[in-house]
Amino acid sequence: MADSPSRILFISYPLLTVSDESAGGAEQVLWNLERELSLRGSRTTVAASHGSRVAGELFATGAPCRQSDDFERRNREHQEAIIEFVGRRRRERRSFDLIHDMSGSFWSQAAELDTPLLATLHLPRSFYPAHLFAEIPENVRFNCVSAAQAQSFANIDQVIGVAPNGVALDRFEPNYGPRAGLLWIGRICEEKGPHIALEIAGVAGEAITLAGQVYPFSYHQNYFQKKVVPQLRRLPEARFIESPSMQQKRSLLRESRALVITSSVDETSSLVAMEAAASGTPVVAFRRGALPEVIKEGVTGFLVDTLDEAVRALRDIDRISPSGCVRHARANFSSARMAQSYAALYAELLHPHGGFRPASSAVVQQAL
């Protein structure tokens, strides 16, 4: 692994806590990466909400946000606390070598700091307000998490590479035995399409478990009540598990016949597809965004374009070998491999050779 900077400050999204039980994808990536780098000797600090559990030092910036109308206040509190903390550490001559922002927005405040900052872009390009990229602070560089996402940011010269996500493979036990029913797991919101997963299960005549968290946003809660609850009531073999623990999640992934991914947006990655492969569980997913990079057609699952294709794919799901899924996961989805990719990006940010590299076609091709 390339040498990592000795002092790294990670910045989390202020809505949730960071721990091995985190439900949010960005929080899971941060927890896994910080753990890996801490094990390799880096002195890591995580700026996150009270109640977070991390491998290194925790700098708690306040209570996690519980309601959507409080987010702006909480985000300001989070960012102001971090700026003051970084300044205090500098005055104490314990400055950070690098700041790694996984919050999606702190990097816009980086002009107030003199520390190099890498901001991971977790979301599709269309989810970011355009003005955020109008005046990028000089000390900021970005990375994407997939080649498909990098293509959409190809005109942003400050994107220096791709670091694909990884998962803690040691926490997922493969199942090579009997399985039953379908599984949908994730954030309960319209763009993730749990109502479509229920429709697929109904047409296929399959039992299904829907597992996930309804975030404290009114539009998420309204969607759940109007589009998901009625379908759950109509399908006798459908059940809902709200905010499953990681232990429940791992059990569901081991026991299910197949995982279905029904996103209507271009996903930039898919941690749950990686976790399913690590569990030996095949995936049927809509062909959106980076999902073709994560799901190996015919090896870890099937990619489809319509609901009818999804139903047909489920009829062939037993062609997917659990052992083939596990082999692919171990070769491609480890958190150690993710940490290695980030260490290389850190080195590029701190010691650039010939200037910073944009997300050119060469960078995109290297990630494929």
Handedness of CA 185, 191, 195, 198 (dihedral sign): negative
Question: What local confidence, expressed as pLDDT, does residue 23 receive?
Answer: 80
Cβ neighbours of residue 194 closer than 8 Å, sequence gap 6 or more: 184, 186, 188, 210, 212, 228, 262
Same structural domain, 276 and 189: yes
Poorest-pLDDT segment among 27-31, 158-162, 295-299, 359-363: 359-363
Same structural domain, 183 and 79: no
The maximal CA–CA distance of the chain, rounded, in angstroms, is 64
CATH of the domain at 122: 3.40.50.2000
**Rounded CA gap, 198 and 193, in Å?**
9
Say whether pLDDT at 360 is over 70. Answer: no
**Rounded CA gap, 342 and 324, in Å?**
27
Question: What local confidence, expressed as pLDDT, does residue 4 receive?
Answer: 64
* Other Cβ atoms closer than 10 A to 225: 11
* Other Cβ atoms closer than 10 A to 157: 16
Percent of the chain with pLDDT over 90: 87
Say whether pLDDT at 1 is over 60. Answer: no
Same structural domain, 252 and 152: no
Same structural domain, 23 and 151: yes
**pLDDT tens track for 17-29:** 999 988 889 999 9
Amino acid letter for position 300: T
**pLDDT tens track for 101-111:** 999 999 999 99
Tokens describing residue 166: 């990884």
Say whether pLDDT at 155 is over 60. Answer: yes
Say whether pLDDT at 136 is over 80. Answer: yes
Lookup result for tokens 């958190």 = 335
Same structural domain, 94 and 177: no
The range of the structural domain enclosing residue 20 comes to 7-166+335-367
Question: What local confidence, expressed as pLDDT, does residue 16 receive?
Answer: 86
80 alpha carbon, distance to own chain's centre: 25
Say whether pLDDT at 364 is over 50. Answer: no
Mean pLDDT of 169-192: 96
| Mean pLDDT across the chain | 93
Whether residue 2 lies inside any domain: the answer is: no
**pLDDT tens track for 162-173:** 999 999 999 999
Question: What local confidence, expressed as pLDDT, does residue 365 receive?
Answer: 38
Same structural domain, 154 and 177: no
Higher per-residue pLDDT: 344 or 68: 344
Query: Is the separation of the CB atoms in 89 and 96 below 8 Å?
Result: yes
**Rounded CA gap, 255 and 363, in Å?**
38
Helix intervals (H) in the chain: 25-39, 71-91, 147-152, 194-204, 218-223, 229-234, 246-255, 271-278, 291-294, 307-315, 322-332, 335-350, 361-367
Same structural domain, 33 and 130: yes
Higher per-residue pLDDT: 69 or 349: 349
Same structural domain, 124 and 53: yes
**Rounded CA gap, 140 and 232, in Å?**
46
Question: What local confidence, expressed as pLDDT, does residue 353 receive?
Answer: 62
Question: What local confidence, expressed as pLDDT, does residue 367 receive?
Answer: 37
In whole angstroms, how far apart are CA 160 and each of 24, 111, 138, 206, 283?
25, 19, 14, 45, 31
Same structural domain, 134 and 198: no
Same structural domain, 23 and 149: yes
Same structural domain, 148 and 183: no
The band of 67, judged by pLDDT with boundaries at 50, 70 and 90, is low
Tokens describing residue 313: 């794919």
Poorest-pLDDT segment among 20-24, 209-213, 313-317: 20-24
